[in-house]
A = this chain, B = another copy of it.
Amino acid sequence: MADQTQTPPPWKDTKIVGSATPRIDAYERVSGSAVYPTDVVLPDMLYAAVLRCPHAHARVTRVDATRAEAMPGVRAVITDATPEAKIDWYQGREKPLSRLFDSECRYAGEEVAALAAETPYQAWDAARAITVDYEVLPHVVTEEDALKPGAPPVHGGGNRVGDVQVTERGNVAAGFAAADVVLEQTYRTPCEIHTTAEPHGSVARWEGNRLTVWDSTQGVFFIQSALAASLGLPIANVRVIGHYMGGGFGSKIELSKHTVIAALLARRTARPVKLVLSREETLVAVGNRPANAMTIKAGAKKDGTLTALHLKTVGSGGAYLGDGVGGVDWQVRDLYRCPNVRTEATDVFINAGPARPFRAPGHPQCAWALEQTMDGLAERLKMDPVELRLRNIPAVSQASEGQPPYSSTGLRECLTEGAAAFGWKEARARAKDAAPIRRGVGVAAGLWQGGGAWPPATVLVKLFADGSVNLNMGAADIGTGTKTVMAMVVAEELGVGLDQIQIEHADTATTQFTNPSGGSKTVPTEAPAVREAAIAVKRELLALAGEQLKLPVDQLSIVDGTIVSVADPAKKVAVRELGGLQRRGVVVGVGSRGPDPEGKVVCPFAAHFAEVEVNTQTGEVRLVRFLAAQDSGRVMNRLTYENQVFGGITMGTGLALTEERVMDRARTGRMVNANWHDYKIPTALDVPADQTCLPIDPHDSGCNSVGAKGLGEPATIPTAAAIANAVGHAIGVRLTDAPMTRKRVLEALHQRR
C-alpha cells in the first residue's frame, strides 16, 4: 500500500488530460446496458406507490387503508400510524426525527401514505383506494401573499423564516451619495423545477438488519448517514449504491422521503421494494429553484466605477426546509469591485413543494438582476456594457473574510477574449433589423462562489499484474463525465490506456468517503486525489523496476506501459513483466485531496454573449448565436467540458425564455403545469445552432495539483441575463421578469409605445 503525502508539482505538458475524449462509459450509456437505479430489478421485488395530499393545506383527520389492503397484490401499507415512519431531515446531525407522514399537509403533493404491491399498477390503484378525510385549511402559495398581514400561516405563527439576513460592508448611503448615476429596479425570476431526465427513485433490500439501497443520488454517503439516522441503524449497516444516474442538478443531494418509504416497506414485507416517482411527483415534491423577487439599487461614477450596491430579495423554500434566498446575494457582494454593499434577504414559508439546491443556487437569479442593472448603468453612462464591466474587475474576494485574493481571476479575460471571439463590437454596432424582426446582442458575467473543492476525498488506484487499473472513488458521476476525467488523470500519470481502466465508484460499502457531487466541486476535489494515488502507484512501480533492473529509481520513467532508463533506453522492463508486481498481484496507491490553498479563494468566472432575434409581432425570442467564455481553470476533457457548457446554456435559456412553475394561486394552490407538456424545458429547437465554448485557462497552479476549478454551475449563471440584455438591446426596453414569454415581450413592447 503506497501512500502519497507530498503535493505533486503542476503538470507542464499533458498527453491525455485536455484532449477531447469520449466518455469511457459511452457504449454502456447509449446501448442501454448501463444499469440506472430505475433499471434495477431484483428477484421477488415489490413496487411501491405513494398517496399524496391533493390540497395545498389540509389537516389529515382519518386514513383508512382497509380497502387498499384487500386489493390484489398489496403486501404492506404504511401511514402516519406506522410507528417507525420517521425521517431525518438533518443528515445525521443531532435533531429530532420528523414524521414521514405529517398529520398536517402543507402543500399539494405531500406524502400521506404509501404501500407496496406485486406490480406498479396494483400499487398505484391501491394507493388511490386509501380513504383519507381532510380538513382543508386556507393556503398561501406566493411570497407576496405569505408576507401580507393576516396571511394563512403555513406552520402556525408568521410565515417569515427567521430574521431578515443582512450583510453589509462600507456605507451604501454614502456610496449612493457619491454616485453620478443611481438606478433602482425590481426583477423577478420564476420557480423552476430540476426536471431530471431520470425520475427520483430507490430500490431497497434488507439482509438481516443490513440495508442496501440503489439510489439515484449525487452523493451516496449523504444518503447513507441520513437514512441510517432515519431508520435507527448504524451507518455501516446501510449501503447506498449510486453508479449511473440520470441528472440531479442539486435535487438528488439530500435524502428524500421516497427512499425511506422504500426501505420501510422492504422491511415490512421482507422483500426488495422499488419506488420510482412519476414525472408528476418529481415536479411537485422533490425540489425546485425558488422564485425570487430582487430589488437592486446601484450607483456608479461617470467613469463607470461602482460606488454602491444594495440588494433586497424575497424568496421561499416552500413549506419545509428549503432555502428560499440562499446564494442570491453572493454576486452582488463579490463579482464587481464595489466598496459599499448591503444585502437583505427575506425567506418565507408558502404552501408549495420544498426547494432544494439547484445548479448554482441563487446565482442565475442574482445575475438576472445584477447584470441587467449593469446594462442599465451602461446605457445611462453611454458606455459599452463590456467596457463598464471591465472597469470593475475585482482584485480580491471582497465578500470573503479578510478579503483574500483569488487563486486566479479570469473574469477580465472572459470578457475581453469572449468579446473578441464573439465579434461583440461589430455585432453590437450592426443594424440587422428587418421588421418585424429585431436583432440584439447582450453580455453578462458571473462568478460561482463554490467550485474550489469539498474535501475530504480518499481514492485508491489498484494496478493489476498486467498493468490494467481499477480506480476506486466515492464520487458519483452525475452525468458530467467524472469517470472519464478521472480515468484520464490515471492514464496521464501511468501511461495506461483508457480501455484498461475500470472504475468502482459511488458505493458506501466499497469506496471511501466523499462529499456529494455538487457545487461544481467534483473535479477539483477528486482529480488531485486521483493524481496523488496514481503517482503513489507509479513510485511503487519504479521502485520494483529499480530492483529488477538494478538501477536507481530517479533514473527511471514510465512510457506507454514500459519502465525505461532515462540514461539508457535499452534498459527497460514492461510493467507486466515486473516480478514484484506478479508476486503481489496488485500495487495499490492511496491519494487524498490536499488542503485548500492558504489565504486564497478559488472561484470560477464566466462571461456569456448572446445574439437574439425578437419578433415584435408575435413576441417570440429566438436565440441566434451564443458564446460562453469560461474560466474554470484547466480543461480536463475538452469534449465533456463543452458538454457541460452547452448544457448550462440550455438550462439558462429555460430560465430566460420558457420555464416557470405555475400555481393555481387563488383557488386550489396546486401546481397546474406539473408535467413535461406544460412545464416547458428547452428542446433542441430552442438552442442556437451557432454556439461556442471558449475556455479561458488562467494556468492556476495554486487552486490544486491539477489546476482545474469547477465548471458545472458557472456555465449556467450568466446565460439568462445575457439573453435578457440582448433582448433589451433588440427592442429597447428591459424585461424585468423571467421567463421572457411572448406575452411579456408583447407587454413590454406595448409599454414602450
Residue positions of A touching B, CB distance < 8 A: 1, 3, 25, 27-28, 31, 33-35, 39, 41-43, 92, 206-210, 221, 225, 228, 234-237, 239, 270, 456, 458, 460, 462, 464-470, 472, 499-502, 504, 507-515, 583-586, 588, 590, 592
Q: CB-CB < 8 A to A237: which residues of B?
A: 468, 499-500, 502
Which 7 A-B pairs give the minimum distances between C-beta atoms? A510-B510, A234-B468, A236-B468, A513-B585, A235-B464, A27-B208, A513-B586
A465 touches B235 (CB 8 A): yes
Query: Complex Cα distance A510/B462, Å?
Result: 10
Quote the shortest CB–CB distance from A119 to chain B (angstroms): 15
Indicate if the CB atoms of A512 and B590 lie closer than 8 Å: no
Residues of chain B within 8 A of A583, CB atoms compared: 456
Contact sample, A vs B, 22 pairs, CB 8 Å cutoff: A1-B512, A28-B208, A31-B208, A33-B206, A34-B207, A92-B465, A209-B499, A225-B464, A225-B466, A234-B467, A235-B466, A235-B468, A236-B462, A236-B501, A237-B499, A456-B583, A462-B512, A470-B509, A507-B510, A510-B510, A512-B588, A513-B585
Q: Is the CB of A228 within 8 A of B466?
A: yes
The minimal Cβ–Cβ distance linking A678 to chain B, given in whole angstroms, is 33
Majority-rule SS of A interface residues: mixed
Asked if residues A512 and B235 are in contact (CB atoms below 8 Å), the reply is no
Point out the residues of chain B lying under 8 angstroms from A31, CB to CB. Answer: 208
> Known: A235-B464, A235-B466, A588-B512. Contact between A43 and B34, CB under 8 A?
no
Seed contacts A31-B208, A41-B43, A234-B464; 8 additional CB < 8 Å A-B pairs: A3-B3, A33-B207, A228-B468, A236-B464, A237-B499, A470-B508, A515-B585, A590-B590
Q: A470 and B236: CB pair below 8 A?
A: yes
Closest to A457 in B: B585
- What residues of chain B lie closer than 8 Å to A584, measured between beta carbons? 456, 513
* B590 and A510 form a contact (CB under 8 A): no
> Cβ of A456 and Cβ of B585 under 8 Å apart?
yes
- B-side contacts of A588, CB under 8 Å: 458, 512-513
Residues in B whose Cβ lies below 8 Å from that of A501 = 236
Across-interface contacts of A456 in B (CB, < 8 A): 583-585
Q: Is the Cβ of B234 less than 8 Å from the Cβ of A466?
A: yes
B509 with A502: CB separation less than 8 A: yes
A517 to chain B minimum Cβ distance, whole angstroms, is: 15
Task: Specify which chain B residues have a CB less than 8 angstroms from the CB of A513 in the assembled complex.
Answer: 462, 584-586, 588
Using Cβ atoms and an 8 Å threshold, which residues of chain B touch A472?
510
Contact of A592 among B1, B27, B92, B509 (CB under 8 A): B1
Query: Roughly how many angstroms separate A522 CA and B508 CA in the complex, as a whole number?
Result: 25
Chain B residues lying within 8 Å of A235, measured Cβ to Cβ, are 464-466, 468
Residues of B within 8 A of A228 (CB): 466, 468
Which chain B residue has the least Cβ–Cβ distance from A31?
A: B208
CA distance A1 to B583 in the complex (A): 25
Q: Verify A236–B509 contact, CB threshold 8 A.
A: no
Closest to A586 in B: B513
Chain B residues closer than 8 Å to A33, beta-carbon distance: 206-208, 270
Bound: A27/B237 CA distance, A: 14
Alpha-carbon gap, A681 to B456, bound state (A): 55
Residues from chain B with a CB closer than 8 A to the CB of A586 are 458, 512-513
Q: In the complex, which residue of chain B has the Cβ closest to the Cβ of A35?
A: B207
Q: Considering the chains assembled together, what is the distance between the CA atoms of A512 and B39 in angstroms?
A: 29
Residues of B within 8 A of A42 (CB): 41
With a CB–CB cut-off of 8 A, which chain B residues contact A270? 33
